[in-house]
């Protein structure tokens, strides 16, 4: 057993306490590691870290779990800002399976950027009331031009409905009532709009601005074709996805065909082109996060049944250096994978590999990568007041490790257990 239950069987609804003792804390803020004697969470919220906060007095019927960690390392649970867990025909079943495994693998938050909102809303509800142990879920409504929904995964986000006509996956044209479309997206439970492709700069900007007016977060592919990155940043987008697509900022004319994204001029335009350096600075000034997704470009060669894609090698190399430069300019980078789910029950979520690529390919320090995978992800998801760092008053989403990830970023995979909302989740 991972813990000792100190209270007798409690009454239904009794308070739950988790007390963790003797560990090295990496709190997700970028501060140096420090030793902690005692952390206490009550009903999933951190109430005390050593002398910070208030020492709780347990109620008579409280459930109290105490675990000595013997000097282990603790960091916030990981947040993956680019997943697609409900894009399968059996959306609910597959998403639930992926999410259950993810939380065991150290991921306590995900931003789904294109899936069946019906399944995601139900899983979010089940997770919220304790029926399902899963990461916190923020999910999105996808908007794009008509061609976006003709083939491929984007045409399969709403089984039983015509492609591009679901509230969470909708075609947008110059004649669309954006106010109505975004209101319907909100009604489906989405909190984020994804501006996808084949949209003019003007239409993309209108989408982002209307979403913001209605209280939605916003994410866009770094180039929407024909909207370049700076068009999206100037419109107020919250997050740009896919670092390699930043390259289109420095071209004279951006194609109006989303299919051209795989033909980026990565060998002609350097990532430190003056137009790109100016873009990174503006992203930092406006607090636009970068969902770099290096892992998916690195791994496209191993997609099952997919022919070799030579363009991904150039895209990955360019994107890694662009991510390095953006980080140096002060852009908040997040850990999004775009290929989240592992291949089998023995692998961990690919979020760990995205962390490693930030260090090994993009020049981040291990601490910078951890901040990217925790605090910055919470900021991108609009949850930074409650998630992403280990502080009193925050949700107790924690990752306990048997080795120091600052010595080797791969040590995030050496999981002793995850804590999700104050409850221990065994990695097995």
Query: Which tokens hold the place of 103?
Result: 């939380």
pLDDT band at residue 188 under the 50/70/90 scheme: very high
Cβ pair 322, 363 in contact under 8 A: no
Count other C-beta atoms under 10 Å from residue 248's C-beta.
23
**Pick from 170, 176, 215, 214: which is nearest to 195 by CA?**
170
Q: What pLDDT is attached to residue 264? A: 96
> Looking at the predicted structure, is the pLDDT value of residue 1 above 90?
no
Nearest to 393 by CA among 127, 51, 44: 44
How far apart CA 229 and CA 169 sit, in angstroms, is 22
Instruction: List helix spans (H) across 242-398.
Output: 274-285, 294-299, 311-328, 351-360, 366-372, 375-380
**pLDDT computed for residue 10 by the predictor:** 38
Most confident option among 59-68, 333-342, 362-371: 362-371
* CB neighbour class for 33 (10 Å; exposed up to 12, middle 13-18, buried from 19): middle
Tell me what pLDDT residue 4 has.
33
Q: Do the Cβ atoms of 73 and 403 come closer than 8 Å?
A: yes
Q: How far is the C-alpha of 296 from the C-alpha of 80, rounded, in Å?
A: 13
Q: What percent of the chain has pLDDT over 90?
A: 87
Residue whose entry in the numeric block shows the structure tokens 């995964």: 153
Alpha carbon 246 to chain centroid distance? 19
What number of other Cβ atoms are within 10 A of residue 5's Cβ? 12
Question: What residues does each domain of the chain span?
Answer: 4-75+392-425, 78-380
Note whether 112 and 83 are within 8 A (CB): yes
- Residue 6: pLDDT band with limits 50, 70, 90: very low
- Predicted pLDDT of residue 304: 66
What is the pLDDT averaged over residues 300-322? 84
| 319, pLDDT greater than 60 | yes
The pLDDT value given to residue 230: 98
What's the chain's Rg over C-alpha atoms? 21
For the entire predicted model, the pTM comes to: 0.95
* Tokens coding 375: 């605090």
Q: What is the pLDDT of residues 61-95, one digit of tens each?
A: 999 999 999 999 999 999 999 999 999 889 999 99
**What pLDDT, on a 0 to 100 scale, did the predictor assign at position 12?**
52
How many other C-beta atoms lie within 10 A of the C-beta of residue 37? Answer: 11
What is the pLDDT, as a whole number, of residue 303?
A: 67
Q: What is the mean pLDDT of residues 364-381?
A: 98
pLDDT tens string 151-180: 888 888 988 999 999 999 999 999 999 999
The CATH code for residues 4-75+392-425 is 2.30.40.10
- How far is the CA of 393 from the CAs of 48, 265, 309, 341, 373, in angstroms? 8, 47, 47, 31, 20
List, in sequence order, every residue forming a beta bridge with 219; answer none if it has no partner.
194, 239
Q: What is the residue-wise DSSP string for 120-189? A: HHHHHHHHHTTSS---EEEEEEEEE-GGGGSSSGGGGSSTTS-TTEETTEEE--TT--HHHHHHHHHHTT
Joined tokens for residue 205: 């900007």
Please name the residue ranges forming H helices in 189-331.
201-213, 229-235, 274-285, 294-299, 311-328
Give the Cα separation of 162 and 125 in Å (integer).
26
183: tokens are 């209101």
Nearest to 422 by CA among 390, 392, 398, 400: 398
In this structure, of 6-15, 38-47, 275-284, 360-369, the range with the lowest mean pLDDT score is 6-15
How far apart are the C-alpha atoms of 131 and 146, rounded to whole Å? 38
Answer whether the bond into residue 140 is a cis peptide, omega within 30°. Answer: no
Contact by Cβ (8 Å): 339, 357: no
Q: Which helix (H) or strand (E) holds 104?
A: helix 91-104
pLDDT at 60 over 90: no
Measured distance CA(155)–CA(40) in Å, rounded: 47
As a whole number, the mean pLDDT across the chain is: 94
Q: Which fold has domain 78-380?
A: TIM Barrel (3.20.20)
In this structure, are residues 280 and 327 in contact, taking their beta carbons and an 8 Å threshold? no
């Amino acid at each position: 057993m991972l813990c000792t239950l100190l209270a007798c069987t409690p009454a239904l609804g009794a308070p739950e306490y988790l007390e963790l003792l003797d560990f090295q804390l990496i709190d997700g803020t970028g501060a140096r590691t420090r030793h902690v004697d005692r952390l206490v969470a009550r009903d999933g919220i951190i109430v005390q870290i050593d002398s910070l906060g208030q020492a709780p007095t347990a109620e008579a019927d409280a459930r109290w779990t105490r675990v000595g960690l013997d000097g282990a390392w603790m960091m916030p649970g990981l947040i993956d800002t680019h997943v697609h867990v409900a894009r399968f025909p059996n959306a609910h079943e597959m998403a639930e399976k992926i999410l259950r495994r993810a939380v065991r693998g150290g991921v306590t938050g995900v931003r789904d950027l294109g899936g069946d909102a019906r399944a995601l809303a139900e899983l979010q509800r089940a997770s919220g009331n304790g029926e399902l142990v899963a990461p916190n879920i923020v999910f999105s409504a996808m908007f794009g031009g008509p061609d976006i929904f003709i083939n491929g995964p984007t045409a399969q986000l709403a089984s039983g409905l015509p492609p591009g006509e679901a509230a969470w996956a909708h075609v947008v044209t110059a004649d669309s009532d954006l106010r109505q479309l975004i209101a319907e997206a909100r009604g489906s439970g989405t909190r984020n709009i994804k501006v996808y492709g084949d949209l003019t700069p003007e239409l993309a900007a209108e989408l982002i601005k209307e979403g913001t007016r209605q209280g939605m977060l916003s994410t866009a592919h770094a180039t929407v074709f024909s909207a370049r990155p700076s068009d999206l940043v100037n419109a107020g987008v919250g997050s740009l996805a896919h670092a390699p697509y930043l390259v289109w900022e420095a071209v004279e004319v951006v194609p109006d065909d989303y299919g051209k994204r795989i033909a980026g001029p990565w060998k002609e335009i350097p990532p430190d082109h003056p137009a790109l350096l100016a873009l990174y600075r503006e992203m930092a000034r406006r607090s636009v996060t970068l969902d770099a997704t290096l892992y998916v470009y690195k791994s496209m060669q191993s997609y099952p049944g997919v022919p070799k894609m030579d363009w991904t090698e150039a895209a990955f190399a360019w994107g890694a250096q662009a991510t390095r430069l953006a980080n140096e300019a002060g852009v908040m980078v997040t850990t999004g994978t775009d290929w989240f789910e592992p291949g089998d029950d023995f692998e961990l979520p690919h979020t760990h590999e995205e962390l490693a690529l930030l260090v090994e390919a993009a020049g981040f320090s291990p601490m910078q990568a951890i901040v990217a995978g925790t605090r910055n992800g919470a900021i991108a998801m609009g949850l930074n007041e409650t998630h992403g760092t280990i502080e009193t008053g925050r949700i107790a989403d924690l990752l306990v490790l048997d080795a120091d990830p600052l010595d080797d970023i791969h040590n995030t995979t050496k999981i002793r257990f995850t804590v999700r909302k104050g409850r221990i989740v065994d990695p097995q």
